[in-house]
Amino acid sequence: MEYFIQQLLNGLTLGSIYGLVAIGYTMVYGIIGMINFAHGDIFMLGGFAALIVFLILTTFVAGVPVALALLVMLVVAMLVTSLWNWTIERVAYRPLRGSFRLAPLITAIGMSIVLQNFIQVTQGPRNKPIPPLVDDVFHFGDVTVSLKQILIVLVTSVLLFVFWYIVNKTPLGRAQRATEQDRKMAALLGVDVDRTISITFIMGAALAAVAGSMYLMYYGVASFADGFIPGVKAFTAAVLGGIGSLPGAVLGGLLIGLIESLWSAYFSIAYKDVATFAILAFVLIFKPTGILGRPEVEKV
């Protein structure tokens, strides 16, 4: 039983990270109907930004408080990845918005290759380990909860609330929802569609950066190739929860995290990714709208 609870906690932590990345996928898909293939690599960029900031901080300021260091890492990573995602949208996706549907998908795959190789070239192909930032653990009977797990779940919850508030209660969120429903009509009613889409990309990148920093903190290692698999899993999460739905993305993320950790614990670690991909296939085949998604009406 303790073992089960332990795995549940691990899954929850991992699921929070996937959920954060999944929000980026789901928001972009919702608003422009495109799979942002490079989103996983934006997540990886976020992790690298946090890593570099961490290294600089630890050399210049000895004994910097951990909370402050984490905050600086998060903020810088969010800013840098936002810049990247904004630029990528402007350069690679926006000019193709009126083009045929495969075009932005191809540029997104191209951008994904570019980002991965850019980091490989500039930062080297080796794994980058960092010393643990927070290593406090709490014991409840046989169950161990580490402080970083608590931090990850806490930060995810806070961010989720903030984003839920932005999307549902602010004028910006209203513009986003309007653009999602009908881009042309929204433009006619005075919504700056281009700006709204840009902001959506920035929001997605910021969340991915937080997720990337958390991932770095959790595993203590960053690599240029770390974007693809978590990216696909986060996309699976978005689809599982119902693409276009914010709570769905988080729910999907948590489910994927749980399935992954329980599968590794009880079946086989080697096939944990197969499990995730199989779920993705099954969900899409039998319930393409996901758990919380709206059915898509087939238009002529």
| CA proximity to 245, closest of 16, 14, 19, 15 | 19
Please tell me the count of residues contacting another protein according to CB under 8 A.
68
Cβ closest to another protein, residue 53 vs residue 151: 53
Q: By CB under 8 A, is residue 105 in contact with another protein?
A: yes
Of the candidate residues 26, 112, 149, 223, the single one contacting another protein (CB under 8 A): 112
Q: DSSP class of residue 130? A: -
Cα–Cα distance measured from residue 112 to residue 297, given in angstroms and rounded to the nearest whole number? 31
**Span near another protein by CB under 8 A; candidates 1-9, 199-207, 258-266, 274-282:** 274-282
Cβ closest to another protein, residue 13 vs residue 116: 116
Q: What is the dihedral of CA 107, 113, 115, 121, to 10 degrees?
A: -140
Q: What is the distance of C-alpha 28 from the center of its chain?
A: 12
Q: How many CB atoms lie within 10 A of CB 204?
A: 28
Q: By CB under 8 A, is residue 60 in contact with another protein?
A: no
| CA proximity to 156, closest of 237, 97, 35, 100 | 237
Cβ closest to another protein, residue 6 vs residue 120: 120
* Distance in Å, CB of 269 to another protein, minimum: 10
The string over 9-29, giving b where at least 16 C-beta atoms fall within 10 Å of a residue's C-beta and e elsewhere, is bbbbbbbbbbbbbbbbbbbbb
Of the candidate residues 14, 40, 44, 84, the single one contacting another protein (CB under 8 A): 84
Of the candidate residues 61, 121, 158, 188, the single one contacting another protein (CB under 8 A): 121
Cβ closest to another protein, residue 107 vs residue 261: 107
Q: By CB under 8 A, is residue 8 in contact with another protein?
A: no
Show the binding pattern over residues 231-270: x = contacts another protein (CB under 8 A), - = does not: -x--xx--x------------------------------x
Collapsing DSSP to helix, strand or coil, 274 comes out as: helix
* CA distances from residue 139 to 6, 78, 205 in whole angstroms, order as listed: 11, 33, 35
Of the candidate residues 39, 128, 148, 183, the single one contacting another protein (CB under 8 A): 128
**Span near another protein by CB under 8 A; candidates 139-147, 150-158, 201-209, 271-279:** 271-279
> Which pair of structure tokens corresponds to residue 85?
């995602």
Range 123-128 contact pairs with CB under 8 angstroms and sequence separation of 24 or more: 123/48, 123/224, 125/224, 126/223, 127/221, 127/222, 127/223, 128/48, 128/51, 128/221, 128/222, 128/223
Of the candidate residues 228, 247, 262, 291, the single one contacting another protein (CB under 8 A): 228
* Distance in Å, CB of 229 to another protein, minimum: 9
Half-sphere exposure for 157 (CA within 13 Å, toward CB): 8
Cα–Cα distance measured from residue 114 to residue 109, given in angstroms and rounded to the nearest whole number? 9
Residues near another protein (CB under 8 A) are 29, 33-35, 45, 48-49, 51-53, 55-56, 59, 76, 79-80, 83-84, 87, 91-92, 95-96, 99-103, 105-107, 109-114, 116-124, 126, 128-130, 228, 232, 235-236, 239, 270-271, 273-274, 277-278, 280-281, 284-285, 288, 298, 300
